[in-house]
Amino acid sequence: MKKTDNHPAKSSSSSPEVKKTKSHPFWRWFWLTFLVVSLGYAWYSFYVPSNDVAWADNMVSAKKLATDSNKNMLLFFTGDWCVPCRIMKREVFADKEVMKAINSQVVPVMINIDDPNAKELVKHYKIGGTPITIFTDSQGNVLNYAVGKIGKTKFLEMLENLGENGS
């Protein structure tokens, strides 16, 4: 008598061979392009160059400096997570013309709304989102403001109008 194996015999039905088909070259190109564009956009959204704007450390020192120098203040409300804020920092505040105008005309204060020390300012100016750009007099009274991302031209226009409204 022959002894039979209880092990299943290797056959094409127990372990089917998967035949790989080559994808169309279009899909390779599509996904590679998608990856490159996505990485480029991520870099663009989060890259912020350094700037030479003399940002004040806090509101108390900014008010004192504004009063002593007879200047208005620029309050820029931002957050680390805010992509439009980062784009504005890159496109507006890193521009040489804007840096020169800010440093000569106003006392700038950048306020991170997530900072626990800024909660009182956020409440005082009723900040609900970012970016928010507010121009105030040396006492903190609002002269002009913009909600959302603004471009270089609009920012310089707002800054120029401060001088006309009396500083």
At residue 167, does pLDDT exceed 50?
A: no
What DSSP element (H or E) covers 104? helix 96-105
For the stretch 51-97, pLDDT in tens is: 788 898 788 999 999 999 999 999 999 998 998 998 899 899 999 99
Q: What is the pLDDT of residue 96?
A: 92
Residue 1: pLDDT band (50, 70, 90) is low
Category of 20 on φ-ψ map: left (φ > 0), alpha (ψ -120 to 50) or beta: beta
Domains in the chain: ranges and CATH: 59-164 (3.40.30.10)
What pTM was estimated for this model as a whole?
Answer: 0.71
Tally Cβ neighbours within 10 Å of residue 75.
24
Q: What is the pLDDT of residue 22?
A: 74
Q: Dihedrals φ, ψ of 38, to 5°? A: -60, -45
Name the residue type at position 108: P
User: Among 144, 142, 160, which Cα is nearest to 152's?
Assistant: 160
What's the whole-number mean pLDDT along residues 32-47?
A: 84
Q: What is the pLDDT of residue 162?
A: 83
Give me the long-range contacts of 123-130 (CB less than 8 A, separation at least 24): 125/75, 125/77, 127/77, 130/77, 130/78, 130/79, 130/82, 130/84, 130/85
For the stretch 101-137, pLDDT in tens is: 999 999 999 999 999 999 999 999 999 999 999 999 9
